[in-house]
Amino acid sequence: MDKPFIVALDFASKEEVRTFLQLFSDTSLFLKVGMELYFQEGPAMIDELKQKGHHIFLDLKLHDIPHTVKQAMKGLAKLGVDLVNVHASGGSAMMRAAIEGLEEGTPHGMSRPRCIAVTQLTSTSEQVLRDELLIDRPMKETVVHYASLAYRSGLDGVVCSAQEVPLLRASFGTSFITVTPGIRFAGDNADDQVRIVTPYEAKQLGTNYIVIGRSVTKAYDPYAAYERLKREWDGGQ
């Protein structure tokens, strides 16, 4: 997991994935497989991507009673993915159960997948937090609190906006990883994201990994967009 860029495979079929990845035939990528793709193609898609040498973030955001999450994680651990996640709002018992499931399910001789917790989705605004979720604390305070639950539950890090990374670094140090969606190039459409930053801003804020989807996958030239991503991360234009 040394690559800081996670490309979101927001496709509905393996055919679309194969077409996209043909552009990167000489490159090992860190890929995010989310619900849209996994629920259509299942574990076979994970195996195919692994066979091509890619790292995989399986983004299913588990959120259920502790026993169910533990059993699900036991199964997911067998897939050999690098990163999985849960919703921190499921509580500390659920998060601890997720780690137990991963440890029990990881085949002998392999490292268990890292497990991170979603704090608040980058599509969630302060207004939604207050008016719909009935959380009367500011976004940043809520994110730090959920991250604290994840940290104390033994998780490896969190999903958050890059805007919240400095606060988390101050509270939990550098070994607690941050994975930050909501990444857009300057001038790109925000789509359904709210708390967004550019790749360069995300690096300056100190995040470990950025997740980028449509700015690359829907670009006229995805390979060129990925190269732009790398340049901007390094401070270039």
* Catalytic site positions: 61
Exposure of 59 in the CB half-sphere (CA atoms within 13 A): 24
Q: Any residues with CB less than 8 A from the CB of 73 and at least 6 apart, and which?
A: 62, 84, 97, 98, 99, 100, 101, 102, 105, 115
Structural tokens at position 230:
């790398």
**Selection from 61, 66, 121, 125 nearest residue 87 by Cα:** 61
Exposure of 131 in the CB half-sphere (CA atoms within 13 A): 5
Angle subtended by helix axes 14-21 and 43-51, to nearest 10: 20
Instruction: Compute how many other C-beta atoms are within 10 angstroms of the C-beta atom of residue 64.
Output: 16
